[in-house]
Structures are given as C-alpha cells and as structure tokens.
Amino acid sequence: MFALVVRFDLKDEDAAAGFDRLAAETLPGIQQDEPGTLVYATHLVEGEPLARVFYEVYRDRAAFDAHERQPHTLRFLSEREQYLSGVRVEFLDPLGSKGVSGS
C-alpha cells in the first residue's frame, strides 16, 4: 500500500470554485481508468473555506506512478497552480488499517 495526504490552500473564493470544478472533472478518469487507486477522496476542511485535503491510497508505488502519468492527472497538475496559494504533500507509511487492502 502507498498513501498520501495533500493539503491545498486556495487564493480566494473564485479560486476555490475553479479548483473544485477542476477536481470534479478529474475524478471520473480516476474512477474509470485507475484500478490501482484504492481510495481517492477529496475533502473540505471544516472552518477553512479556502482549504481542500485529498486523501489518496494506492495498491503500491507503481499504481501511484501510473496515476501521475494519466492524462486527467497531468491536466489537473498543470492547471491547479492558478488557484493555489500553497500546497503540502505528506507521504504516509501505514502502521495498520481497516478497509484498505495491502496493509
């Protein structure tokens, strides 16, 4: 299993709306074309309207690498910068889990 959490801080409300549209347009490709993506969840952050958190779990590092090469992901990566004031990526090393295979 390979997992990460990404926090996106957005410039303003218009940027948040644009980012949310871009994320929504990206999700169908992940759902349809990425069997190695086990969990790809996008979240609002309570009390922080300009923050978004993505929680991602992949079968293994190869599945993550395949995700990063997908056309829908490449589009997301190239277009997201216009909306961001900051981003933080944390790669996770699982100790145990429930509901996710590979642990």
pLDDT of residue 80: 98
Residue 103 has pLDDT above 80, yes or no: no
78/53 Cα distance (integer angstroms): 18
Residue 101 has pLDDT above 70, yes or no: no
Q: What's the gap between Cα 102 and its chain centre?
A: 19
Does residue 103 sit within a domain? no
Does residue 33 sit within a domain? yes
Please report, for residues 3, 64, 85, the alpha-carbon distance to residue 81 in angstroms, rounded to integers and kept in the order given.
22, 20, 8
Does residue 72 sit within a domain? yes
What is Dmax (Cα atoms) for the chain?
39
pLDDT of residue 3: 97
Give the range of the structural domain holding residue 12, as residue numbers without chain letter. 2-92
Does residue 19 sit within a domain? yes
Does residue 97 sit within a domain? no
pLDDT of residue 97: 80
Mean predicted lDDT score pLDDT of the chain: 95
> What CATH number has the domain bearing residue 66?
3.30.70.100
pLDDT of residue 61: 97
Domain count, the chain: 1
